[in-house]
Structure 1
Amino acid sequence: MTTPDATGPNTDPVLREQLITQVRGARNRFRRGAAIWATAYHTSLIGAAVLSATAALVLKLPDPPLNNLATVCASLAALLATLNILGGFEGKWHANRNAFYDLDALLIDADDPETSTRDIRNGLKRTMRNQRVSWIAPPRQTDQTTDK
């Protein structure tokens, strides 16, 4: 990952510190984003399951007015599941988590004096681009089974 730089803008310690500050800021934003999207994903997923199960249990009760509660629970379960899918919560969680991990690795590389400021800048740009691209077009799952 290193590009040797004897002199020039790639060895400027002020620029290096500014880039490292940018990387840390982006890392913290991606960490917060991962936490937010993970919460949205898991809350909607578990909430839909709990509401769906509640609707099924309420229908088993002999009290007819509770049928309205079952309808509300089932409707909310469907709404949560739909929001989860349409919002792409899982993909956004993964995109932010992966960007956070990539920037962690970049900070480790930045501790090495052989890593140029150009490498740090390019690593930051690559991570930010990958994160944004994965929001737009998440990677497709491929079948990894093999015939034996």
Structure 2
Amino acid sequence: MADLPFPIRKECPPGACVCQRDDLLDKPDADLTILRLTKEEEKRLCERIEAIETYEELLRVSAKLQQQLGIVLTIEPGDNEVRTVMGLTIELAEKKGLCRKTREAIPAAIRRCMKRKPEIIYALLNSRDLFGL
């Protein structure tokens, strides 16, 4: 592993994560941008997500996650009716180097944001076609 020009996420304890961080670092041509999300940066990102005020802002943050880190965020109504924020499916797509804790922290931050601002849930549901047309 060569010295990198930017700080990267510290490795997780053995057996605690399945992010395959070391495999990613061993490949000379691998895209290491996901490793730029250190624990400190993850904390700042979650704080930023919790402070989101509108659905449009949530969409912008989601686009930035994909653009800057390669993280694909999916937020959809659950299979059953949505009465609360827990009825939503919030997932990060599988990506080598994406820590298990990050996979849990970002959706949790989004849920906290939506509990604080339920109008974001309404806008999300309104953006979906009721009849799937």
TM-score over 0.5 for the alignment? no
Higher strand share: 2
Higher helix share: 1
TM-score by length of 2: 0.30
Structure number, greater radius of gyration: 1
